[in-house]
Amino acid sequence: MAASDSSLKSSLHIRSNTLPSAPHPLVSQFEEHLNRLKSSESASSSQSLKLSGLQDLHDCIDKVLQLPITQQDFAREFSNKGVDDLLDGSLRLLDVCSIAKDFLLQSKESLQELQSIIRRRRGAKNGLAIEVGEYLASRKKMKNAIFKVLGSFKGRKMELIVSSSNKENDTLSMLKEAEAVTLSTLETLMSFISDTKGQSKQWRWSAISKLMQPKRVACDSQEMVTNEFKKVDAALKSLMGQKHAFTENFQGDLENLETCIEDLEIGIECLSRKLIKTRVSILNIFNN
């Protein structure tokens, strides 16, 4: 049994320089999900697709945590400080998800109010300036709030990068890698909601790549995914300036934005449940 446990433990290593040892299938899946998320960032994939990728990643993490050898490894090698750091990290991610859900809810409520006003004044060229101005003002207020939230991410990202230079338990490394890519993807989501320019994108991935050390992902596609928030904001500003009537195309843009918000709300809610499940699994390991 001892030899068998030793062999399984070796197979759990995320990266091993010893050949021909192969990683555990779950660890290979983790690496695939991790690299796919980085690839989706490079390819400017849809935010819903990225959230789905995060769900797959955390599903894989939870399966790793259910392995008996992983639980034994945790109990034997993890310090109280290490456990507290993991739990603090998971709580931070849940807080970020909650913040993102609040921003999405605010966006949906403002959009629905605007849609209601437009329907009541169908075909009107004038008389909507106040309502449109209020919508754009609420968007500006939200952008400022999101900018502050994004600034608060920097400290934790630097902590993860610094900790990556230390030799750690392989499962702990997996969990920190998962936290890093989750935090970065949620940052991208909030930048999408606020239509923030990607000024921090290059720093973000160059820094996170030091932690994850994934295989280099080539991306030939330069296609940009539509930002429904940006499209509606731009149309409203144009309509206010030129006093044009709302067109059928614009009505379609509003509907697309509403669908986008609903999809993101579902994605964030599902991710939150995955994060809670992982947090419970960690707590169970150390309470048994």
As a residue count, the chain comes to 288
Q: State pLDDT tens for residues 127-155.
A: 677 888 889 999 999 999 999 888 887 77
Q: State pLDDT tens for residues 85-111.
A: 888 889 999 999 999 999 999 999 999
Contacts 24+ apart (CB under 8 A), 22-29: 24/64, 24/67, 26/60, 26/63, 26/64, 26/67, 27/64, 27/170, 27/174, 29/60
The residue written with tokens 């060229």 in the block is: 125
Domain ranges of the chain: 2-287
Q: State pLDDT tens for residues 154-198.
A: 776 667 665 655 555 677 778 888 888 899 899 999 999 998 754
pLDDT score, position 34: 85
> Is the pTM of the predicted complex or chain greater than 0.85?
no
Contacts 24+ apart (CB under 8 A), 204-208: 204/157, 205/38, 205/41, 205/42, 207/157, 207/158, 207/161, 208/157, 208/160, 208/161, 208/180, 208/181, 208/184
Q: State pLDDT tens for residues 230-285.
A: 999 988 888 777 755 566 688 889 999 999 999 999 999 999 999 999 999 988 88
- 30 confidence band (pLDDT: 50, 70, 90): confident
- Is 286 in contact with 83 (CB distance < 8 Å)? yes
